[in-house]
Structure 1
Amino acid sequence: MNTLYRLLTEDDTSAFCHKVSDALAKGWVLHGSPQYAYDHANGVMRCAQAVIKEVETPYSSDMKLGAQ
């Protein structure tokens, strides 16, 4: 088994919740707590959530993690 890691980021809107929910629906698991930071350049709050997934496929840097 191989563990894949993704860091999902988005402005603090429902789009972030949908992005995380989509990953969970595809078998990804939350890893750690969500993080929030103010993006001064764009004047918005940004969110981040790490997710992991165990897969049989050998890891490759060419993988499209969102498609896993």
Structure 2
Amino acid sequence: MSTQSENRFQAIISHAKEYGFVFQSSEIYDGLSAVYDYGPYGSELKRNIRDYWWKSMTQLHENIVGI
């Protein structure tokens, strides 16, 4: 990865950690340093994306039924 890409990635991770979207697992459980857990906002964002995907794939099409 280029230095600019690495800096951008670090800025995104820093922002996400600061606002509670993700937390590094090692900060919470003394686990692996490359693993992240969802924070409260991250869990909500994940749920919203999942719900939007489900709605767009099943509920908005007459010929598709969700199982």
The TM-score, its normalising length taken from structure 2, stands at 0.37
Greater C-alpha Rg: 2
More strand by share: 1
